[in-house]
Structure 1
Amino acid sequence: MNQQLQDRLNQIPDKILTEEFLKSQGLGNEIGFWIFDYAPEDELQVRDHLRFLENFLAKKHSHLKVVNINLLQAMRDYLDQRNFTDKAIQMQKAKGDQALLKALSGPLHMDKFAPFLLEHCRADEYDIVLITGVGSVWPVLRAHNLLNKLHALLGHKPLVLFYPGYYSGQSLALFNRIPSNNYYRAFKLVP
C-alpha cells in the first residue's frame, strides 16, 4: 500500500464536505472542477478507496447525493444505445485500432457524448459528480476534451475527476507519460 497516496485519499472527505467546495465558492469565478491525480500503478488502491468513500458518504452524510460516473461503462452504454458496439468490435477486428478510433471520433464527439453522459447519469440530481475510468477509455476519450465540454453543461456543480497521471495545475499527463493539451480550469483537489 502506498502510504503517501493513502494520506492524500484520506483528505478527500474533509475537502469535499466543506461549504466552499459544495457551493464552488472562493474560486475566483471559476467553475468547481477538481482533479485528484495519482500514479497509474495505484489505480486499484484508488478504486478501493472510492468504494469506501461512497459508502462513507451514504452512511454519514446521506443528505448529500453523490454520483460516480465510470467513463468506460458510460461509453459502453452510449455505444449500446446507438447500436454501435457490435459494429465497433467488428470494425476493430477487420480494420484495426486506427480505423476504429477514426470511426468513433464522430459518434463520441464531446458535443454528443458529454450531454449524454450527464443525462444518462442524471448528474443534475446530484450534489457532487465524481468521474473515474479515465485511463480505461484512452485514447477514445480524452479528459481535457470532456472537462472543457462539461464546463458549459454543469454550471457550478462540483466535479472531481480521478486522474491516473499527473496534473500540474496547467496541463495533464495521462499515465505520467502522455501529455495532453493544456488545461487550466480545474484545481488540484489534494496536493
Structure 2
Amino acid sequence: MNESLQQRLNQIPDMILSEDFLKKKGLGGDLCFWIFDYAPEGELQVREFLTFLNGMLSSKHKQLNVVHINLLEDMIAYLKDRDLLDKAFDLQKKKGDAALLKALKGPLHMDKFVPFLLEHHQIKDQDLVLFSGVGSVWPLLRAHNLLNSLHADLGHVPLVLFYPGEYTGKDLTLFNRIPSNNYYRAFKLISE
C-alpha cells in the first residue's frame, strides 16, 4: 500500500462532506469540478477506497444524493442499451482495435454518451457525483472531453473525477504519459 496516497485518500471524506464543498462556497462562481489525481500504480488502492467511500456515504450520510459513476460499467451499459456491445466485440475480433475505435467514435461521442449518463443516473438531482474508470475506457473516452461536455448540464453539482495520472491545475496527463493537449479548468481535490 502506498502510504502517501492513502493519506491523501483519507482526507477526501472530510473534504467532500464539508458544507463549503457541498454548497460550493469560495469558488468565486467557478464550476465545482474537482480532480483527484494519483499515480496509475495506485489504481487498485483507489478502487478499494471508492468501495469504502460509497459504503460509508450510503450508510452514514443517507440525506445526501451521491452517485458513483464507473465509466467502464456505464460505457458497457450504454453500448448494451444501443445493441452495440456484441457487435463491438465481433468487430474487434475480426478487424482489430483500430477498426473498433473508428466504429465507436460516433456512438461514443459526448453528444450521445453524456445525455445517457445524465438520464441513467439522474445526475442533475444529485448532491455529489464521483467519476472513476477513466483509465479503463481510454482511448474510447477521454476525461477532458467528458468534463467539458458536462459543464453546461452539471456546473452546479460538485463533481470529483478520480484520475490515474497527473493534473497540474490546467493539464491532464493520463497514466503520467499521455498528455491531453487541452487546457482544463477544475480544482485539484487534494494536493500531494
For residues 38-86 of structure 1, the C-alpha deviation after alignment (integer angstroms, 9 at most, x for no partner) is 1111111111111111122222222112110000010011111111111
The residue aligned with 2:42 is 42
**CA shift at 1:153, angstroms?**
1.3
The residue aligned with 1:130 is 130
Deviates more, 1:116-125 or 1:150-159: 116-125
Q: Spell out structure 1 runs of 4+ moving beyond 3 A.
A: none
Give, in whole Å, the separation in 2 of the partners of 1:19 and 1:161: 19
**CA shift at 1:155, angstroms?**
2.8
**CA shift at 1:149, angstroms?**
0.2
Give, in whole Å, the separation in 2 of the partners of 1:4 and 1:168: 18
User: % of aligned pairs identical?
Assistant: 68
How many residue pairs were aligned?
Answer: 191
Per the alignment, in what secondary structure is the counterpart of residue 58 of structure 2? helix
So what's the TM-score if we normalise by structure 1?
A: 0.96
Per the alignment, in what secondary structure is the counterpart of residue 165 of structure 2? strand
Give, in whole Å, the separation in 1 of the partners of 2:153 and 2:93: 35
Per the alignment, in what secondary structure is the counterpart of residue 11 of structure 1? helix
The residue aligned with 2:77 is 77
Q: Is the contact between residue 166 and residue 172 of structure 1 (CA under 8 Å) also seen in structure 2?
A: yes
Give, in whole Å, the separation in 1 of the partners of 2:155 and 2:174: 26
For residues 91-149 of structure 1, the C-alpha deviation after alignment (integer angstroms, 9 at most, x for no partner) is 11111111110110100000110111111112123210000100000000000000000
The residue aligned with 1:186 is 186
Q: Is the contact between residue 132 and residue 163 of structure 2 (CA under 8 Å) also seen in structure 1?
A: yes
Give, in whole Å, the separation in 2 of the partners of 1:181 and 1:42: 24
Superposed, 1:46-61 pairs within 5 Å as 46-61=46-61
Root-mean-square deviation over aligned CA pairs? 1.0
The residue aligned with 1:112 is 112
Letter in 2 for 1:40: P
Q: Is the contact between residue 23 and residue 157 of structure 1 (CA under 8 Å) also seen in structure 2?
A: no
Superposed, 1:6-45 pairs within 5 Å as 6-45=6-45
The residue aligned with 1:147 is 147
The residue aligned with 2:86 is 86
Letter in 2 for 1:73: E
The residue aligned with 2:67 is 67
Per the alignment, in what secondary structure is the counterpart of residue 157 of structure 1? coil
Letter in 2 for 1:42: G
> Tell me, which stretches of 5 or more residues in structure 1 are unaligned?
none
> Tell me, which stretches of 5 or more residues in structure 2 are unaligned?
none
Letter in 2 for 1:95: K
Q: Is the contact between residue 22 and residue 128 of structure 1 (CA under 8 Å) also seen in structure 2?
A: yes
Q: Is the contact between residue 23 and residue 156 of structure 1 (CA under 8 Å) also seen in structure 2?
A: no
